[in-house]
Each structure stands twice: as C-alpha cells, then as structure tokens.
Amino acid sequence: MMNLKNIMRNFSLSNFVVELILILIACLLLFPVIYMFTNSFFSGAEIISNYSGVLEGNNTATILSLIPKEATLDGYINIFIMGPSYLGKFWSSMMLCVSIVTGQVVISCLTGYGFAKFKFPLKNVFFYLIIMLMLMPVQVLMVPQYSVLDSMGLIGSYASLILPGIFGAFGLFLITQVFSYIPNDVIEAAKIDGANHMQILLRIVIPYSKMGIASLVILSFIDNWNMVEQPIVFLRESYQYPLSVFLSNINLQKLDLAFVCGVLAIIPSLLLYLFLKDALIKGIEYSNLK
Amino acid sequence: MEKTKGKKILVRIAIAVAILLVLCTFLSNTIYSANLPQVTIQKVETNKEMEISSETVGTVVFDMDAAQYNYPLTIRKIHVSSGDRVAAGDLLIEVDTGVFEVEIMKRNSAIQTLQSQLASPDLDEATRAQLRTDLQIAQRELSEYKEAVPLSGQITAAHDSFVYQVFVDEGQTVLENTQLLTLRKVGSLPSIEFTLPNDFANTFKVGDDVQYVYVKPSESNRNTTDLVKGSAQISEKRFDEEECYFSVQTAQEDGKHLYPHQQVDVTLIVSLQKYSYVVPLSAVFRVDKDVYVNVIEKKPGLFGEETYVRQVKVEEVASNNVNMAIYGDGIYEMEVITASSAPLSNGEVVKLEQ
Amino acid sequence: MRAKKSRFVKKDALTGFLFVLPALFGTFAFFLIPFVINLFNSLFDTAGRFNLFGNYVEIIQTGTFQLAAWNTLKFILVAVPLIIVVSLAIALLLHKKLKGHNFFRTIFVFPLVLPIASVILFFEIILTETGVLNSFLTSLGFSAVDWLNSPESFYVLVFLYIWKNCGYNIVLFLAALNSVSKDYYEVMRMESDSGWKRLRYVTLPFIVPHLFFIFVISIVNSFKVFREAFILFGAYPNQNIYMLQHYINNNFSTLNYTRLSVATILIFILISLLVLFAFKMRNKFGEIE
C-alpha cells in the first residue's frame, strides 16, 4: 500500500532520520566498491590525469570521480582478452576455493554429525580443541605447518593449501552447531525405522540443515578466496599464486589494471553473496556459542 | 515466490558470467599465443670446423726491370710503347751516345796520362805504387762505364718482356738516374700485396691460403667482363709500426691477366680449425663492445610450459661471414635463437616455430 | 535393558568416533603437530638447548616484542569497544524494522565478503600524502597528514577494522535483539514510554550474555586485521601499528624460529585467556536467562 497518503500518515521524524542515517552509512560502506567498479571503465589517460597527484607524488589534488568522461572497455579488453594470465589466476583461485570448500563441507558434515549426535570419550576435549583452533589467527600455525607440509613433500603444489583448508576448524565448529539444533526425535524415528547412520546423515540431517551448510559454503569460500599469506609461503612459483595475492601486490603504477582486476575478484564473491546471503546471516548467528 | 524468482535470475546470471569468463579465457589465450614472437632455434654446434676468412683489397705488384742510367741522356728514338711485348735483345730506345763517347774519350785520356806517368824512369816507390793504384781504379771505372753504357747508343731488352711504361719522349734530355722505361719479364708472376692492422694480422701466417677475385675481359665477349677466382698462399709477411704487409705470389694463369696496380679482392682463409662452440651469425648481436646471444629457456607457466628468451653474454672467439665461435658459461646445452618475427627483449615469452 | 544400553552406547560411541576420525586426523596432522612443534621450538634455545621459559623471559623483554604487544593491546582496547558501540547502534536502528531494513542489513554485511585486496587500492588513493583526504583537509585549513606512515595510521586501521567487521557484529546483535521477547517491552511500555529507559533497562541487560560472545569474536577478528594492515602499510609499518602479527611475519622471513614460536604461543595463551574469561563471565551473567 504505497500511496502518498499512507506515507504521509506513517511519517515520523525519528523514523525519517533513522532511515537517513542508515542510507548514509550504507553509502559509506559501499563507496569503495562502487568507486572501483566505475573506475574500471575509465580510460588509461583519464586515470593518469585524475590520479596524477598520487602517481607522481606532486601536489596536484587527486580528483575522485565516479563518472568517466569517456567510458571505455579498454581495461576490460586488456585484461580479459589480451592475455590469459589474469583469467588464469582467476581460475586457479577458483579451483583452489572450490576444492577447499567441497572438501570442507564433506569433512565438516561427517564431523558435525559425530560431535552433535554422539557421545564418546574425550569428545568435549576435542571439541574445545577445535574451538581454540578456530580462534587462532593464521600466522600462529603457519610456520610449523610449513615444516610438516615440507616433510610430506607437498610444498610447491596446491595440495599444501587445499589440505589444511579442508580441515579448517571453523567449518567443523559451525556444522556441529547447526546439526546440534536438529531435534533428536527425528533421528530416533529414523533409527527405529532401521536406517544406519550414513543414511541418516545423508537423507535427514543434511537436507534439514541446508541453510547452515550454505552458510559454511559462502563463509569458507570468501575466506579462501581472500587468502594471501598462505600461498606466498607454501607455493613456490609466482605463476601459481592465486588472484588475491596478485591483487595485493599491485602497486599504484598500474591503476587501470588494478581496478579491472579488482572487479574480477569481486564477481564470484558478489554472486555467491547475493545468492546465499540469507544463509550467510544465519550462519553468523549459528556461530554463537550457546 | 519473489525470492525464488530472484534466485533463478541470479543463477542464470552466474552461469552466464561463468560461460563468459571461460570464453574469454580461451579467447585471450589464443590471442596471446598468436601475438607471441615466433622464433627459430638451433642448438649450439660443438667441435665444428670453421673457415676464418677476412676480406680486404690488394694491389697487384709486378717485379719490374727498369732502364735507368747514372748519367744524363738525350733520347733520340723510342721504338716501343706501353704494353708491347719485346723479345730479348730487341731495340727499345735509341739514345744519343755522343755524351757517352765524350766521356769514354775523357776517361781513356785520363788512363793514358796515368800510363805515361808510370812509364817515366825516375819515380820513387811510393809514387809508383800510388800511380799504379790510380791506374787500376781508372781502368776499372772505364770498364764499368763501358759495361753500363749501351755502346751502340741502343737500349735493348735483356729478356722477353712486356713494356709496362715509357717515361720519356723523343728528343727529351733527361738527368742521371731517371727511369726511362719499365719492363716486366714475360713469365714473371705478379704478386698481390695488401695490408692488415697489426692486431688482426696475427691470425694469418705465411703459407695460409688466400683467394682472390679479379675482373678480366670476357674471352667470349669483349664488352663484358668475367670475374675470375684464383687462389694462392701468403709468401711474405712483414710488420711495421701500424700495419702488416702481406705478399701473395699469384698463380701462372692469373699472371697473364693481371696488370700492375690492379685492385683485386682478396680473401684470406686460415686453414680450417675446430672450434668448441659455434653458432650462426644471425644468433649473435652486439651491444657496445659486448657480444650476446639470445637463448631459449623453458619455465613452467599457468597454462603449461612457457618458452622465454634469455640474453647471455658470451665471448667471441672467432668469426667468419657465416658463423661465429663463442665461449660462455654453460653454453654447451643451449639453444640459440637464429631468427625471430619481432625484436626480442630479455625475459620475453616466445613461441617456437612449428 | 541395562546391558543393551551399554552395548548400544558403546557401538554408538565407536560410530561417533569414526565419523569424527577424518577431521581428527587432519586436524592432528595439520594443526596439532604444528602447534606442538611451536611449543617445542619455544622451549628450546636457538642452539638446541632446553631452556624452559628462558626464551619467553628473554623475548618478553625485547623492545620490539613489547612494542608489538602494546600496540596489539591498544588496538584491541580501542577498536573493539568502538565497533561494539557502532554495531550495536546500527543494530538498534535496524531492529526498528523500518522499511528496507533487510536491504540495509544486506548492504552492511557486504564488506565482510569483499575481497579486501580489491578495495585496498581505493583506500591507498585516498590516503596517500597527496590523496583525496588530504586535499580535503587542506582545503578546510588543516594541515595534511601522511595517513599511511604516521601515528594517525592507527586510526586508519581502526576505521578499516570497523568498516569490514561491523556487519558481522550487526548480525549477531540483531539475532540477540530478536531473542528478547516482546513481553518485556510491553511491561516496560506500561510503566514509561521513554525510549532511552526502555533501552537501558530492558534491552541491554538481555544483550549482555550475547555481548560477551560478540566481544570475544571481535577480538579474534581484530587479529585478522593484519591482512589489511599488511597490504596497505607493508611489512614494517609505522611504530603505532606494529602489531604482534607483524612481529611474527617479519621474523618468519628471517627464519628466527624461537622468536616465532614464542610469539605464537603467547598469542595462543592470550586468546585462550580471553576466551576463558568470556566463558566465565557469561556463566556468571547467564543466570539472568
């Protein structure tokens, strides 16, 4: 019922102010993204003229502009068509993420089921161990992980990134929480019907917690799509580095390149987010420790 | 309902983007490989024989006989001209011998004076000895003079020769030691002389092979010329402060066709030598004073193995006009680039010619 | 019955264990063993002699470590309360369920999923000496500040942290707010109509249990801000930003294993203490629920 009368009737100053504040904050939060997106359409010359202050360090003021004087697809053509190296990095990032996410989902589902629905000795010990691991920043374990992976001979291949990623503690924790919300009677009923645990897992538990698993997918994907420290250490050749590393190394001299590559990097995150945003929010809520 | 519709649209967008990206990947890969410079490579040849040669221009020099006398002459008649062939004993120039006869009479009288002085009875031993010595000197001088003088006033050829150049005209009086004419003995072989800078000259030594090329009128058609090749060995090598002079004795057949001061193209060939690492000249380039080759190396890349260019500095050992012998670290297994479709820079990725 | 149950239980226990086994194995291999290696490294000298706690003492006393630790602490003390206040405020605004609040929520969470490396360039453009922010300041009459390499960089980092993570906290707060039953509000409304009073006496006390969890999570996330700091400021940033993770990272390149392991173990201890503290506090306050 969106006619003018309704709006006038329901109008209250505080609400209006609130909405205004929200809009402002939203703009502030989104501004970098919008800016990057529009700037990727700038031509090289315009970028140089706009950012000459930054690029050459002289004192001309930098102009922030959102609308290009001449919109060109030059940047896109250069990145997407002229050479396969950027798209190659995109695909290698993608492959890395997909493998890690898939593996993580599998392992987490198995583990979550075990933790949520069973009791066995030392279960709590393990569980708290996992929680502790989840909270640690990456650097804490990176160095000795290198020695372990090296002794396995995995340094230099993508497996050195995939394998630790699959066993990521956050996934285990999250899925455990998700599964623990499933009412036990459903499972008991299935047991009485004679289902074994594997069937229970596949036919009942997982479909029931699609939201939670989806949230794991998106959180894990985002986390791994952005990973920067591990590839530098665990991979040897620079051509193997994923897109995130490449982006973090772009310096100011290649601005037009940077904008387009940035857009390229955002695309999967954006699509996945739009698709799974409800699941994401649910997942954040699930990770609450009760 | 809206949510699922929105999600369906999203899924379709995602699929479209994915397909677009895949297409772009393939497209960019194709464009990229098509734009890569294409190179031809060749392995470094080891232990290959190379003919080192150097080209220069030499001058044909003939041994000449010259007719010149150490007293003034008047030319009466000249019987030959440049290019004539004369036989031994042929009359070349008639000179006025009046001057000769006057000189001979003068010397004869000087001798007679001395002889009469010797005949007088009352001379002491010292004077007699002195007079005897003087007489001997005078007589020797006279005989030498007579030998030198063409008594008949005729200058004849000593051997079969070609007249090269006549320097005097009829009726001209010339001073002593003036060259009247120069003769080239028939059958004398000319030599070719050329010079090389000293530091380079060390490559060549006496006995090394030399090839030369000269122009002679075609035997079939007078109006055209043939290029004739001949070969010989270095016969003489002589150093001076800045340059080294070489002399090459020509072959019999060529001697007939060469003429003095003729310019011939000379190619010096050092006898074949084996060099450890040889590459074609097209693989080598110079920057300032250094010599470099472009070598290909492989490194792993995202889409497989990539071939890229590496510039390697090498030392030049020797070169001819086809190959160069080089030396460098690890040059053994390298493959050098002999041709490329575009100028190359260090580190550039290239593709091999199929 | 009893015997059956125990056998049931035993079989269950085994199955459960089997389910958990792969993850356990992986965690053991890739996380536990490295942790133990770290522990050992921190206890031994560089020369390999056993040096219980000696390393700790030595390193805690070094200036760099103290600087890093102090900076990390300072960051946590400043940034975490700030983000909690900000995200709570926004969550309260969103909780009013005005038009489009879902849409706003989507937007606020978005920076969380953004690849930070993509937008870092944007921040760099704004923040360099001749960048946009400085020209804005100079036009207003203030002097330009080198945002990237001066004490002010601290505030930049705080801003980045809030920008990225407030979405996460907003969601958590919203969930917490939603869990407060409406009945309580009704009671409050009967007694007084002031929005502030409602906030202080009803809402906030119910939030408190969740608050602790959010607090801990925010602290954990604050460690993750290293990535942004590293990309924007480099490995050796200004003094005010040099944090524990910079310490670890830099010693990594010099392969100084003892220092590394000591620092990481200390971080571990720090976080564990925080978590335990949060648990204890929550248990104490959880009586309300």
Give the tokens for residue B259.
């003429």
pLDDT higher than threshold 50 for residue A229: yes
Confidence label for A11 from pLDDT (cuts 50, 70 and 90): low
CA distance C256 to C46: 8
Identify the segments of chain C with pLDDT beneath 70: 1-10, 45-52, 129-132, 144-145, 147, 180-202, 252-253, 282, 285-289
pLDDT at C192: 54
In this complex, do B13 and A271 lie within 8 Å of one another by their Cβ atoms?
Answer: yes
pLDDT at A105: 92
Confidence label for A53 from pLDDT (cuts 50, 70 and 90): low
Q: How close, in Å, is residue B338 to chain A by CA atoms? A: 26
| Nearest CB to A80; choose among B11, B13, B24 | B24
* Contact A29/C at CB under 8 A: yes
CA distance B339 to B102: 83
CA distance A237 to A233: 10
Identify the segments of chain B with pLDDT beneath 70: 1-3, 53, 97-100, 148-152, 199-201, 203, 217-219, 221-222, 255-256, 269-272, 354
In this complex, do B11 and A275 lie within 8 Å of one another by their Cβ atoms?
Answer: yes
pLDDT higher than threshold 70 for residue A8: no
**Could you say which residues from 218 to 237 on chain A have a Cβ atom under 8 Å away from some Cβ of chain B?**
237
CA distance A119 to C256: 43
Q: Which of B39, B52, B44 is nearest to B328 (CA)?
A: B44
Query: pLDDT digit string (tens) for A230-258?
Result: 888 888 887 888 888 888 877 666 777 77
* Contact A166/C at CB under 8 A: yes
pLDDT at A106: 92
CA distance B53 to A269: 69
Which residues of chain C lie closer than 8 angstroms to A289, CB-CB? 213
pLDDT at A10: 62
User: Residue by residue, what is the 3-state secondary structure of C197-225?
Assistant: HHHHHHHHHHHHHHHHHHHHHHHHHHHHC
* Contact A31/B at CB under 8 A: no
Q: How close, in Å, is residue C153 to chain A by CA atoms? A: 18
Confidence label for A60 from pLDDT (cuts 50, 70 and 90): low
pLDDT at C9: 61
- CA nearest to A104 within chain C: C23
pLDDT at B179: 80
User: Residue by residue, what is the 3-state secondary structure of chain B?
Assistant: CHHHHHHHHHHHHHHHHHHHHHHHHHHHHHHHHHHCCEEEEEECEEEEEECCEEEEEEEEECCEEEEEECCCEEEEEECCCCCCEECCCCEEEEEECHHHHHHHHHHHHHHHHHHHHHHCCCCCHHHHHHHHHHHHHHHHHHHHHHHHCCCCCEEECCCCEEEEEECCCCCCEECCCEEEEEEEECCCCCEEEEEEEHHHHCCCCCCCEEEEEEEEECCCCCCCEEEEEEEEEEEEEEECCCEEEEEEECCHHHHHHCCCCCEEEEEEECCCEEEEEEEEHHHEEEECCEEEEEEEEEEEECCEEEEEEEEEEEEEEEECCCEEEEECCCHHHCEEEEEECCCCCCCCEEEECC
* Contact A141/C at CB under 8 A: yes
Q: Interface partners of C (3+ CB pairs, < 8 Å)?
A: A
With 0.80 as the threshold, say if the pTM is over it. Answer: no
| Nearest CB to C231; choose among A59, A133, A248 | A248
Residues of B with a Cβ under 8 Å from any A Cβ are 7, 10-11, 13-14, 17, 21, 24-25, 27-29, 31-32, 300-303
- CA nearest to C95 within chain A: A18
Which of the pair, A68 or B245, is modelled with greater confidence? B245
Contact B320, B13 (CB under 8 A): no
- CA nearest to A76 within chain B: B24
Which residues of chain B lie closer than 8 angstroms to A237, CB-CB? 300
| Nearest CB to C132; choose among A64, A226, A284 | A64
| Nearest CB to B17; choose among A237, A271, A275 | A271
pLDDT at B44: 85
In this complex, do A91 and B25 lie within 8 Å of one another by their Cβ atoms?
Answer: yes
* Contact A73/B at CB under 8 A: no
Q: How close, in Å, is residue A144 to chain B by CA atoms? A: 28
ipTM value of the model? 0.79
pLDDT at C1: 47
- State which H helix or E strand residue A21 sits in: helix A13-39
Q: How close, in Å, is residue C183 to chain A by CA atoms? A: 23
**Could you say which residues from 98 to 127 on chain C have a Cβ atom under 8 Å away from some Cβ of chain A?**
98-101, 104-126
* Contact C227/A at CB under 8 A: yes
In this complex, do A84 and B25 lie within 8 Å of one another by their Cβ atoms?
Answer: yes
In this complex, do C275 and A26 lie within 8 Å of one another by their Cβ atoms?
Answer: no
pLDDT at C201: 66
Contact C215, C84 (CB under 8 A): yes
Lowest-confidence pick of A28-37, A67-76, B280-289, C27-36 = A67-76
Which residues of chain A lie closer than 8 angstroms to B32, CB-CB? 82-84
Query: pLDDT digit string (tens) for A168-227?
Result: 888 888 888 888 888 888 878 887 887 777 777 787 788 888 888 888 898 889 888 988
pLDDT at C288: 45
Which residues of chain B lie closer than 8 angstroms to A271, CB-CB? 10, 13-14, 17
Q: How many helical (H) and strand (E) elements, i.e. helices and strands, does chain C have?
A: 14, 0
- For the sheet with B64-69, list strands across it: B64-69, B178-185, B161-166, B85-86
* Contact A130/C at CB under 8 A: yes
pLDDT at B178: 79
Return mean pLDDT, chain A: 80
pLDDT at A96: 92
Give the tokens for residue B46.
């080891």
Give the tokens for residue B45.
């040849």
Query: pLDDT digit string (tens) for A81-119?
Result: 767 778 888 888 999 999 999 999 999 988 888 888 777
